[in-house]
Structure 1
Amino acid sequence: MAAVPWPQGSEIALSSRGIVDQKLSRKLVHILAGPGFALCWPLFSAEPNARFFAAIVPCLNLLRVVLLGTGIIDDPKTVNAMSREGDRAELLRGPLYYVLVLLGTTLVYWRESPVGVVVFSLMCGGDGLADIVGRRLGAKHKLPWNSSKSWAGSGAMFLGGSAMAIAFIALFCSLGYFDCDMAAMAAGVATIAAVATLIESLPINQRLDDNLSVPGVVALLGFLLRNALLAA
């Protein structure tokens, strides 16, 4: 999984001070950046155009990623922090997709649908935890269909993504953004998370970035299952 494009300062500080290694710091930002952004959504008004003002944040980060990835901005320290191999071209894949997903989630779903919450939760909390837990606990128990993935990592994705999604849904329901039947919501989230976890574990993700495959599958399932499982 590629690194998250913001906040780079925190990512660089954590690794440069030796608090955590660079790979772990990137993953922690991957997990926290999207939800941190979504936690700011309640600060915006109820006006219909509020989503467009919120979208300025990922738009600015999108511009920065493109400028860094194309070399228009020369910042080797940031490029190294955001990429695996220190190649600025990497920023035009995983980090770029990550920002695009957050931008799309903001514009398409905003605070009006639980589907958007599930999209960023599975990408951030689920996929991010899968890598961290899988690297540390999954060495001996690999998946039979993909030796680069583990049962521990897949379990962390399912549980972490589901927990984040349900927590955000409960928060947004309490704020009155949409009505909730939490039992139906939880069943829908679990179903979507299970399928997304399976997709993330497939060898195809060695060629297709999972910052695209996971949100894409979640959005499709959310559309198909919303009336049956995610509606109030």
Structure 2
Amino acid sequence: MISSWIHSLFGQIAIVLFWLSIVGLCAEIVNRATGNNELVRKVVHIGTGNVILLAWWLNTPMWLGVSASILFSAVALISYYIPILPNINSIGRKSFGTFFYAVSIGVLVAWFWSIAQPQYAAIGILVMTWGDGFAALIGQRFGKHTYRLWDMKKSWEGSGAMALISFTVCALILLFTIGNLWEIWLISIVIGLSAATLEAFSKFGIDNLTVPISSAAIAYFLTQTLINL
């Protein structure tokens, strides 16, 4: 009875909304405790990205995931001009990261749900969710060794965190779905380095689109090439 309710459409929506409400509550607590909008954004960034694991576990229909992506993309885009999400987007801030983030989820769900390979969508989204989230936090807190790309200031500590966490995310998911093969470690190294590079060179929040889609695509094609011959 409980299992059938969980996997029903109503149950899936209820579980996702419950998780998002927890994320929202945590963001509000952080906002009241620190008043740091950037930290609030990262709490939401990390928290919402994990919805992909719920969608994978619940075998959420592709149309539902894509529809949710379109809805949140529209809300994110409007919020840059109307303060719908004041603690997530700052009006006039030269970044469309939240919009690209929502779009990337829809693209990856449409792609990998259609070929019954949701683990690669999870790799792409979680590389961005955890890698970029902690890269920013670690870079701001511990970034002592900086470098510049165009007009952007980056830190080696932040870029290193992006590479390490992206490697870990990819390795864990592939180990869970494929098993312990040497190719998995090579694929994960490539993902870690490529994700860190794309994040470093991206402007205006475009890394929220390029990092997840590229990470998922590289993981998928390398897996097909090196393992599933």
Give your verdict on TM over 0.5: yes
Q: Who is 2:86 aligned against?
A: 80
**Greater share of residues in helix:** 2
Cα distance between partner residues in 1 of 2:217 and 2:52: 23
**Structure 2 counterpart SS, 1:206:** coil
5+ residue gaps, structure 2, are 1-19
1:201 aligns to what? 200
Query: Which residue number in structure 2 is paired with residue 142 of structure 1?
Result: 146
- TM-score scaled by length of structure 1: 0.73
The one-letter amino acid paired with 1:166 is A
**Following superposition of structure 1 onto structure 2, how do residues 6-21 of structure 1 map, counting pairs within 5 Å?**
9-10=24-25, 12-18=27-33, 21=36
Q: Find the aligned partners of 1:159 and 1:187 in 2 and give their Cα distance.
A: 13
Q: Distance in 1 between matches of 2:106 and 2:130?
A: 17
Identity of aligned residues (%): 23
Q: Is the alpha carbon distance of 1:88 and 1:230 closer, same or farther for their aligned partners in structure 2, counting shifts above 3 Å?
A: farther
CA distance in 1, matches of 2:51, 2:73: 17
Confirm or deny: 8 A CA contact 1:126 1:161 kept in the other structure. yes
In the alignment, structure 1 segments of 5+ residues that lack a partner are 1-5, 174-178
Counterpart among 205, 209, 213 of residue 210 in structure 2: 213
Q: Specify whether residues 208 and 54 from structure 1 end up closer, same or farther in structure 2 by C-alpha distance, changes over 3 A only.
A: closer
Structure 1 CA distance, aligned partners of 2:173 and 2:219?
15
Partner of 1:3: none
> In 2 relative to 1, CA 225–13 (structure 1 residues): closer, same or farther, beyond 3 Å?
same
Q: Given the alignment of the two structures, is residue 183 of structure 1 paired with residue 182 of structure 2, yes or no?
A: yes
Q: Is the 8 A contact 1:79 1:87 kept in 2?
A: no
Q: SS at 1:55's partner residue?
A: helix
Query: Residue 212 of structure 2 aligns to which amino acid in structure 1?
Result: P
In structure 1, what is the equivalent of residue 71 of structure 2? 60
TM score, norm. by length of structure 2: 0.74
Deviation string, structure 1 residues 91-132 (Cα, Å, up to 9, x no partner): 8x2111100101111111135154323211221111111111
CA distance 1:218–1:56, shift in 2 (3 Å): same
Supply the RMSD in Å over aligned alpha carbons: 3.1
Q: CA deviation at 1:200?
A: 1.8
In 1, distance between residues paired with 2:27 and 2:220? 38
